[in-house]
Amino acid sequence: MRNVIVLLLAAAMLFGCTGGGQTQTPGGSTPQIPGTGPNQPECSPSYAFSDLEAGTLSESANVVATVTCADGKTLSLKVDGAEAASMTVSGNATQPLNLGFYPKEVGTLKVTIDNGAETLYSRDWSVNSLGSEDISGLEYDGVSFKEWRAMSMDVQNPITPDRVRIFMKRIASKTQKGTMIVVDLAQDAGGKPGSVVATVKKPINATTMSDNWINFDFDSPPTLSAGKYWVVVRIEQSENVNLVSDVVNVHYVSGDKQSEGNTYTKQMLLDVDMISGMASETSWQPLSYDRTYSIVLTKK
């Protein structure tokens, strides 16, 4: 009988302590699984950013921000202090934010990213002009009142350029009175220059006898939407046109001289009246082989 009582007491103690396998705390609550309780440390925001390569006027660029634990925060990307892109984080999971933007100026620009409370990213950004600044080699095409040249440029995003720069030189030290170098900025019309949106004129003696970058500044800079535009270089000459032709040479870098001319450079050979010397327009034609003129669309 004594042995039965001992066994019953032992069984009561065993099942009373386990409570069906779940231990109760003194207050009657169930303990939390480690790492999930209300007293665990808060999630701390972290940010990482991709590299920013050199840019080109009007061309799209981006910085990818990889963020964690930043729910509700807004990242603002600024270029020289002006906001160019922003995105708001949704959720605390690690995620990429693609901050897309483009340059409206050239030179060294300051790019920053902040979250409203602190600056998270700051870089100097080098932005190039649109076109070709390559001045290697010694190859040139002549431009006169009877021979014009043109090169196209693709504008990816809206810009307001105020200058065209051309690497060029004058052929003769003596020029005709009133001869002007004319630079037109024209819309594209089926792969050739079309309607003119802005024009700049300079006396031909504004050039030099040696190679130099010559600036052609627009009095009223045009605002260009995305699309293809042409820079046309020509000469206006009214004096002694039937005796002499004022000429400037525009520098170019050649590609494959065995290939046909490309789609972004053109020439126009005008018809000249042998008696009066006056020239009339013909049509734009491809060049005899691949080449790129040293011409840029830019900002001062």
**Average pLDDT, integer, range 257-266:** 92
pTM over 0.85: no
Written as one string, the DSSP assignment of 64-107 is EEEEES-TT-EEEEEETTEEEEEEE--SSS-EEEEEEE--SS-E
* CB proximity list for 154: less than 8 A, separation 6 or greater: 227, 228
The domains of the chain, with CATH numbers, are 46-128 (2.60.40.10), 130-298 (2.60.120)
CB 75 within 8 A of CB 89: yes
Q: What is the pLDDT of residues 173-216, one digit of tens each?
A: 889 999 999 999 999 999 999 999 999 999 999 999 999 999 99
**Mean of the per-residue pLDDT values of the chain:** 88
Q: Is the pLDDT of residue 300 over 90?
A: yes
pLDDT at 259: 85
Distance, CA of 182 to CA of 164 (rounded, Å):
11
Q: How confident is the model at residue 41 (pLDDT cuts 50, 70, 90)?
A: low
Q: Is the pLDDT of residue 88 over 50?
A: yes
Residue 3 — φ and ψ, nearest 5°?
-65, -35
Q: What is the pLDDT of residues 44-78, one digit of tens each?
A: 999 999 999 999 999 999 999 999 999 999 999 99
Distance, CA of 265 to CA of 293 (rounded, Å):
8
**Strand pairing category for 271-272 and 227-236:** unpaired
Distance, CA of 261 to CA of 267 (rounded, Å):
10
**Strand pairing category for 147-155 and 227-236:** antiparallel
